Amino acid sequence: MATESKSLETTKAAQTYISELSRHVGKEVVLKGWLYNLRSSGKIVFPQLRDGTGIVQGVALKNTVTPEVWEALQGLGQESSLIIRGTVRADERAPGGFEVDVVDAQVLQQVHDYPITPKEHGTEFLMDQRHLWLRSRRSHAVLKVRHTIVQAVRNFFDNDGFTLADAPILTPAACEGTTTLFEVDYFEGEKAYLTQSGQLYNEATAAAFGKAYCFGPTFRAEKSKTRRHLTEFWMVEPEMAYASLEDVMSLAERMLSNVAARVLADRAEELKVLERETSKLESIRIPFPRLHYDDAVKMLQEGHAAGALESRFEWGGDFGAPDESYISNRFNKPLMVHHYPASVKAFYMARDPERAELALGVDVLAPEGYGEVIGGGERATSLEFLKEQLALHKLPQEAFEWYLDLRRYGSVPHAGFGMGIERCTAWMCGIEHIRETIPFPRMLYRIRP
RNA sequence: UCCGCAGUAGCUCAAUGGUAGAGCAUUCGGCUGUUAACCGAAGGGUUGUAGGUUCGAGUCCUACCUGCGGAGCCA
């Protein structure tokens, strides 16, 4: 239910954004946005305007505005689009510190039935209304933090000598397992899949640029229904030629501490909206604790003996969610667990020369139960070893010939990692659900809106 | 795929097996400083679907549907 406004004359006026109001105190400005909330008290109304950069309260008195303006503001519903002309005034009573004394107002569209009210709502309902929920303070704050994380990550790599060289999204074969691929039926005589990692292509670009990274969407057809999973998520993957496991761990901790510092500096307001304890982010500083898989297993077995864990963890397995939480909760910083058994890691992982059963891999486990945010390691360099591994993992060698070429022509030690942007965002924001960290989440049982 | 939980007004939730209710939202009225404003009034329901038990089912039973949480797997 909506009524169109007839005259849009004032839309031509130069717009001031709410975030810039401090520079316009005492001056007249034109604000263009949407009604966040309206309160009225007889002969005074308080329209709260939202414009994407902030929220500000306007004040209109019946005897200081024209009858037309007064009438236009009466009974205006949430998210009505409108333009306000008024004078900026510093006011301690206002949440943002400023108010606007309304001189003129132009309603572009009156709205009366906006579905998201200022009261509580369930997640299912809000997710169905995601296209509108994005306008809320909370979504706005989370996505602003995401934006800053992406920006910080890219700046970090750009300033560290990395070249952005994106990996393809349509691929002919799996990078890791074949069970979690989305199949695309388009290329003649051949099946294609949506990428589940840019990893293998990064190894090619690292050999071309020395240090390269890709940043893009990733698809996993996992039947996972947890707060840590999306079927479509964004991943940043750096890869370095002439680099070791040690180099990758150092890169990961430098990047994460850099990102945390950026979020603290640029998104203080948003962290406040999200009621995030900033001390948790302040502790994300170099160096991060490092734990050998053997020692992690010992820690888990002691945990079981002390009654903190239900089942006794045996050497050789991969950690389950409760195991991860138990270990990472013993540290107040991100924890780097390295030297996993090769059997639980991907085929391209390099082996520990001293102990062939160990892979030179590392997982970075975020504190507070956020789990694995980074996975990476050193890659195998030997052509023969990789051929064996492909066979062992029952992967078709023809599909990987181009990859094997990287070992035929100038094979060097190299290493890299992948970080899930959404998991990182959920952690920095301190929110329960990863699905709030992406504008339009795709999950098992959710492809709309 | 497996285990557990839930579906009642637009939304969030109540309702011993006995007349289906409240707050918010909406509509109307009141209020010159409201902060999820407040006060008064009105409209709003095939209780997820289909069966069953019962004099009587929102409530008990069965199946299905939808969603949520977790496991496995992963970032």
C-alpha separations of A65 from A44, A69, A339 in Å:
10, 6, 72
On the question of pLDDT at A306 being above 50, the answer is: yes
Distance of C1' in B16 from CA in A122, Å: 29
- What pLDDT sits at residue A254? 96
C-alpha separations of A194 from A184, A213, A417 in Å:
7, 19, 20
Distance of C1' in B68 from CA in A124, Å: 8
On the question of pLDDT at A9 being above 60, the answer is: no
- What pLDDT sits at residue A329? 85
Q: What is the DSSP letter of A386?
A: H
On the question of pLDDT at A316 being above 90, the answer is: no
A29-33, A225-229, A403-407, A421-425: which range is least confident on average?
Answer: A225-229
Nearest nucleotide to A45 by CA–C1' distance?
B34
Residue A237 region, left (φ>0) first, then alpha (ψ -120 to 50), else beta? beta
The residues pairing with A206 across neighbouring beta strands, listed in sequence order, are none
Nearest nucleotide to A129 by CA–C1' distance?
B11
User: Distance between CA A423 and CA A153 in Å, rounded?
Assistant: 14
pLDDT > 70: percent of chain A:
96
Residues 6+ apart with CB under 8 A from A18: A31, A33, A49, A50, A51, A53, A54, A55, A56, A96
- What pLDDT sits at residue A221? 83
- What pLDDT sits at residue A1? 37
Domains of chain A: 2-111 (2.40.50.140), 128-437 (3.30.930.10)
Highest mean pLDDT among A97-106, A114-123, A404-413: A404-413
Distance of C1' in B22 from CA in A131, Å: 30
On the question of pLDDT at A259 being above 90, the answer is: yes
Average pLDDT (A402-412) is 95
pLDDT bracket for residue A2 (50, 70, 90)? very low
Residue nearest to nucleotide B67 (CA to C1'): A124
On the question of pLDDT at A62 being above 50, the answer is: yes
Average pLDDT (A165-188) is 79
- What pLDDT sits at residue A12? 66
Average pLDDT (A374-395) is 92
- What pLDDT sits at residue A119? 75
- What pLDDT sits at residue A328? 87
Higher pLDDT among residues A184 and A158, named by residue: A158
On the question of pLDDT at A8 being above 70, the answer is: no
- What pLDDT sits at residue A125? 85
- What pLDDT sits at residue A177? 57
A154-168, A187-201, A284-298: which range is least confident on average?
Answer: A187-201
pLDDT bracket for residue A191 (50, 70, 90)? confident
Average pLDDT (A154-170) is 96
- What pLDDT sits at residue A423? 93
- What pLDDT sits at residue A178? 59
Nearest nucleotide to A122 by CA–C1' distance?
B12
Q: Predicted ipTM?
A: 0.82
- What pLDDT sits at residue A304? 83
Distance of C1' in B24 from CA in A139, Å: 21
Residue nearest to nucleotide B28 (CA to C1'): A75
Residue A307 region, left (φ>0) first, then alpha (ψ -120 to 50), else beta? left
Average pLDDT (A291-303) is 91
A115-119, A134-138, A372-376: which range is least confident on average?
Answer: A115-119
> Taking a C-beta distance cutoff of 8 angstroms, is the pair A262, A151 a contact?
yes
What mean pLDDT, rounded, does chain A reach?
89
Residues 6+ apart with CB under 8 A from A178: A395
Give the distance from CA A369 to its chain's centroid: 17
pLDDT bracket for residue A11 (50, 70, 90)? low
Q: Which nucleotides of B are covered by protein (CB under 7 A)?
A: 1-2, 10-13, 23-28, 30-38, 66-75
